[in-house]
Amino acid sequence: MSTIIATNLTKDYSRVRALAGVDLAVKEGEVFGFLGPNGAGKTTFIKILLGLVFPTAGGISVFGSPAGNTAARKRIGYLPENMRLQGFLKGREFLDLSGKLYGLSREVRKERADRYLKLLGLSDDAHRPLREYSKGMLQRVGIAQALMHNPDMLLLDEPTSGLDPIGAKEIRDIILAEKWRGKTIFINSHLLSEVERTCDRVAILNHGKLIKVGKLDALSTRRATILMEVAEKSEKLHEALARVAEQVQVKDNTYIITPKDDQTMALIPGIIVETGARMISIREDRESLEDIFLGAIKQEGTK
């Protein structure tokens, strides 16, 4: 099943076409990354998804209902990129207010506020006013409010913005935990390394057009290779590797192996034992999401 379905989604403003016939489906229970340079149309897509603006043509549904439908919106937890919070509210008060807006009982609000304050490392700061929070702390409390009503979908706009590496890792863990609970997570981010670590699929938007959608392996234009460094190269090792690989090249003491299939990597340990080679290191060399992203944008610009 799909949580989000956009069909020929188009949005025109007075001087610009923000979205140009976007067709997109986000599956239930997946972590989906939405990428694009500034001005690509990502913010417009999110606003339409939330029912804050309306498309010029086409349509978008959320949980089978038109975007903006009250019942559908109640099933979404939203973290905006720049949260504007009432600085006089304390952290716990803010979460309690968020729970009230979703109609949660006092007991449920208290239990969930306690849970998410602890999960996000804010328990000791729960009674401090938000104006005293750092940018990273505000990001954490923003994620907590998105989780308060136990939504079926999380819509996260730059979820790790302002966080240190430890905080970013904690947010990644929360995202993956929500995924394993069956939730759909839609991430809009410029931090490609974070998207690469968490997302099942990504979409790349440019000038309002969807130019690539899919898993990273499927989007890559370059095949992954295996780089294996050994203490001393040998003809015997080269011949053994050639039997299980499509191509084997040697540079200094490093073998550059183009796999024949998914089993190539699994067969290498046996080859090391068989040939008596001394392996120093081994790793896969894949095209990064940054490379895929920049390549897609550059290619689109040449059309």
Q: What is the structure's pLDDT at 145?
A: 94
Domains of the chain from N-terminus onward? 2-217 (3.40.50.300), 225-285 (3.30.70.980)
Find the mean pLDDT for residues 146-162: 91
CA geometry: angle 46, 49, 51, nearest 5 deg: 110
Q: Is the pTM of this model over 0.85?
A: no
DSSP 8-state symbol, 129: B
Find the mean pLDDT for residues 186-198: 85
pLDDT band at 167 (very low <50, low <70, confident <90, very high): confident
- Joined together, the tokens standing for residue 274 give 């068989």
Q: What is residue 204's three-state secondary structure?
A: strand
Distances (CA, A) of 240 to 85, 247, 263, 267: 63, 12, 14, 10
Find the mean pLDDT for residues 187-214: 88
Cα 158 versus chain centre, distance:
9
- Give the residue carrying structure tokens 């140009």: 20
Find the mean pLDDT for residues 4-17: 92
- Give the residue carrying structure tokens 């025109």: 12
Residue 30 has pLDDT above 60, yes or no: yes
More confident call, 289 vs 3 = 3
Find the mean pLDDT for residues 141-152: 94
Burial of 302 (0-12, 13-18, 19+ CB in 10 A): exposed
DSSP H or E run through 106 = helix 106-119
Find the mean pLDDT for residues 27-43: 90
Residue 303 has pLDDT above 60, yes or no: no
pLDDT band at 285 (very low <50, low <70, confident <90, very high): confident
For the stretch 66-118, pLDDT in tens is 998 888 889 999 998 877 888 899 999 999 999 999 999 999 999 999 999 99
For the chain, what is the mean pLDDT? 89
